[in-house]
Amino acid sequence: MARKERKLVFLDAYTTWCGPCKAMDRNTYPKSEVGDFFGENFVSYKLDMEKGEGPRVGSEYSVFAYPTLLFINFKGEVVHKVMGYRGPKELIAEGMAALSPAKNKANIELEYESGNREPEIILEYAIHRKKSGADYREYADEYFATQEEKDMLHKRNWEAIQELSHSISGVEYQFLTKKYKKFAKVYGERKVLEKIFDVARSAALESGLTGNPAKYKAALTLIEKRIKDEGQMANRLKMTFTEARKNWEVYAERAIYHYDTYKVATAEDLDHSASIFYRHIKDPGKLEMALRWTRQSIAMKNEAYNNETQARILFKLGRYAEALRSANKALQIAQIKEEDTRQIEALIEQISER
């Protein structure tokens, strides 16, 4: 059909258990603007990667994460490839990129590999590599090396920093931490600080997992010197490092101090720490603190994951009736949102046997 109509094939490579895949089914594909655009421009096809032709196609096109969204010409060649959830506007933007000779992955690769080193080509090449799951870091560094400091605050470079900045030693990251208040004024403090933390967190995780503290110490020194937030980001970084080192008692001390001292940004942060407590902490008093964090998390965002965490802590505390209520609530939310319920169902069975 693609050959006859001279269109690209849009292939959604999914699995039945993939949460982001289900979210796209709920939030993206039903939108009329998505249906109109893809119906006009593509032959669209969904393929379960674990059934029928799925494993063969997945192997042929190097699909290893879900969803993977492939745009393929009638010769079977991938011209554009991205991974992960896309909302309606984002998916249409990827479709437009696939249709654009100047923007699709195949042509950007050809330009770069033919020797074109225009900054925009390097940037697009790095972005396409990241979206398709390939190593992009060398090309990101190459792009940022072409930019002068006076240009770093421009919107295009802020977008590039959000997408590609990956190392605490990168010129763009050094500039971002040095001038973060200027970035925050233009692009919003929360987004800027979270980007700064994400890169520092990667350094701390690498140090923790390898047992070499050098990158963690460098990141911590940089954060303590430049980020004026009364030590909040530095303490989050210390929590990350102790988690990677599996030093649970020190992690518990850091977490308790953190949530008693600072305003928490997200429901996910609270739930993450609470889930570490139910897995690794035995002290009932500390578990009661983690239970309080789950209540705060649920108050901010009532989801299956934080209700499940609450149920697990209650179960560990021996409060079985309350644990069962929380677990059933988690199951109900997960069913409504078509999320994977297997872990919750196993938990309910475990609680019911007590």
**How confident is the model over 54-92, as pLDDT tens digits?**
999 999 999 999 999 999 998 899 999 999 999 999 999
pLDDT computed for residue 337 by the predictor: 85
- Which of the four pLDDT bands, split at 50, 70 and 90, describes residue 129? very high
- 222: exposed, middle or buried (C-beta count within 10 Å: 0-12, 13-18, 19+)? buried
Tokens 């970035």 appear where? 183
21-56 burial, b at 16+ Cβ within 10 Å, e below that, comes to bbbbbeebeeeeebeebbeebbbbeebbbeeeebee
Under the banding of pLDDT at 50, 70 and 90, the label for residue 154 is very high
Contact 106, 112 (CB under 8 A): no
pLDDT of residue 263: 87
pLDDT of residue 191: 94
Query: Residue with structure tokens 């937030």?
Result: 229
| pTM for the whole structure | 0.79
Q: For 247-354, CATH number?
A: 1.25.40.10
In terms of phi and psi (left: phi > 0; alpha: psi -120 to 50; beta: otherwise), the region of 188 is left
Domain coordinates of the chain in residue numbers? 1-99, 100-146, 159-229, 247-354
Q: 127 Cβ partners below 8 Å, 6+ apart?
A: 136, 160, 163, 164
pLDDT > 90: percent of the chain: 86
What pLDDT is stored for residue 301 in this prediction?
Answer: 95
pLDDT tens, 173-224? 999 999 999 999 999 999 999 999 999 999 999 999 999 999 999 999 999 9
Check whether 103 has a pLDDT greater than 80: no
Q: Residue 19 — pLDDT band, cuts 50, 70, 90? A: confident
Name the DSSP class of 146: T
- Among candidate residues 65, 85, 77, the one with its CA nearest the CA of residue 109: 77
Is the pLDDT assigned to residue 264 strictly greater than 80? no
Strand order in the sheet with 78-83: 42-48, 8-14, 68-72, 78-83
pLDDT digits (tens, 9 = 90+) for 285-330: 999 999 999 999 999 999 999 999 999 999 999 999 999 999 999 9
Are 229 and 200 a contacting pair, CB within 8 Å? no
Domains 1-99 and 247-354 fall in the same CATH topology: no
* Rounded Cα distance, 23 and 198, in Å: 24
Burial degree of 167 (CB within 10 A; 0-12, 13-18, 19+): middle
Residue reference for tokens 């390898």? 210
- As a whole number, the mean pLDDT across the chain is 94
User: What is the predicted pLDDT for the residue at 144?
Assistant: 97
Question: What is 1-99's CATH topology?
Answer: Glutaredoxin (3.40.30)
* Residue among 51, 92, 53 nearest 71 (CA): 92
pLDDT at position 232: 95
Residue with tokens 């990350």: 240
- State yes or no: pLDDT of 268 exceeds 90: yes
User: Burial code of 83-96, b = ≥16 C-beta within 10 A, e = fewer?
Assistant: bebbebeebbebbe
* Residue 132 confidence class, pLDDT cut points 50, 70, 90: confident
Kindly compute the dihedral angle of the four CA atoms of residues 347, 349, 350, 353, in this order, to the nearest 10 degrees.
Answer: 160
